[in-house]
Structure 1
Amino acid sequence: MSTATKPKHIGRNISRIRELRGMKQEALAIAIGVSQQYISTLEGSETVEKEKLNSIAAVLGVSTEAIENYSDENVLNIINNNFTSHDSSTINAINVQPNFNPLDKIVELYERLVQAEKDKVEYLERLMKEK
């Protein structure tokens, strides 16, 4: 049994970060001035030359160290640690429990609409009487 650690697969890390950013291979290729096929090949290789890695990191908006040390486990830990049900931007915001009865609000709006119509009718009747 070997205790040696498996070397980082830089190409796979680039691919994962690119996907997390919602970027297609073609967009990355255009941004760094290469072909989409080159990006595909690059994402399949374990190592990437430093100069290309720097330009890819700049386009992806991360540091070269972030690409070199990327791990799915770390990303999931960050997401789990930052996820709160009290934040209105989280997925739990879909399950909002209002502190009012929605039916009461509908009735209230209906009553206001009826009152507005009554006021209009009254105003128009006054105008008609004046003529």
Structure 2
Amino acid sequence: MSTLTKPNHIGRKISRIRELRDMKQEALAQALGTNQQAISAIENSETIDDQKLAEVAKALGVTVEAIKSFSEENMISYFNSFHDNSINNGQNAAYPIYNFNPLDKLIETFHEKEKLYERLLQAEKDKIEYLEKLLKK
């Protein structure tokens, strides 16, 4: 028997879509109100009943038809066309444009961390001073 994935293996398609959405089996299981083992069983099934497929599609944020017609080639084409359209239309829903420099945010975070450390250090100094006063009495 061939080791290639069968083109109509719904479980494999669900698995690949889940991976592309950067979702773990546990997260999908939680969204469906089940456990990770059930998701594993679904992903190993060649067929799934329509009701369960609709639930999985909803949890993955795709349509049932998208799962049924899924292929790697279609996905690459879809993402490329979506990216091109979003740039051309000025809408970047899938690829947000941030209006800040990440290095500036990193430096800002570092300064906040310094301030928190200084406050913690001052609190410890205040505690020591208070305890020394208590010992002198």
Structure 1 and Structure 2 fold alike (TM over 0.5)? yes
Gapped regions of structure 2 (runs ≥ 5):
1-5, 93-137
Give how far 1:82 is off: 4.6
Gapped regions of structure 1 (runs ≥ 5):
1-5, 90-131
Q: Which residue of 2 aligns with 1:47?
A: 47
Aligned-partner Cα distance in 1 for 2:20–2:7 = 22
Counting only pairs closer than 5 Å after superposition, residues 1-131 of structure 1 correspond to structure 2 as 8-82=8-82, 87=87
Q: What is the RMSD of the two structures over their aligned residues, measured on CA atoms?
A: 2.6
SS of aligned partner of 1:46: coil
Per-residue CA deviations over 1:44-102 (Å, capped at 9, x if unaligned) read 11101111111111111111111111010011122334556xx5x7xxxxxxxxxxxxx
Give the structure-1-normalised TM-score: 0.56
SS of aligned partner of 1:8: coil
- Residues 33, 71 of structure 1: alpha-carbon distance in 2 compared, 3 angstrom cutoff: same
Higher deviation after alignment, 71-80 or 53-62: 71-80
- Residues 83, 60 of structure 1: alpha-carbon distance in 2 compared, 3 angstrom cutoff: closer
* Count, aligned residues: 86
SS of aligned partner of 2:41: helix
- Residues 83, 44 of structure 1: alpha-carbon distance in 2 compared, 3 angstrom cutoff: same
- Residues 82, 30 of structure 1: alpha-carbon distance in 2 compared, 3 angstrom cutoff: closer
Letter in 1 for 2:67: I
Letter in 1 for 2:42: L
Aligned-partner Cα distance in 2 for 1:7–1:79 = 20
* Structure 1 segments of 4+ aligned residues over 4 angstroms from their partners: none
Aligned residues with identical type, % of pairs: 54
Aligned-partner Cα distance in 2 for 1:82–1:7 = 24
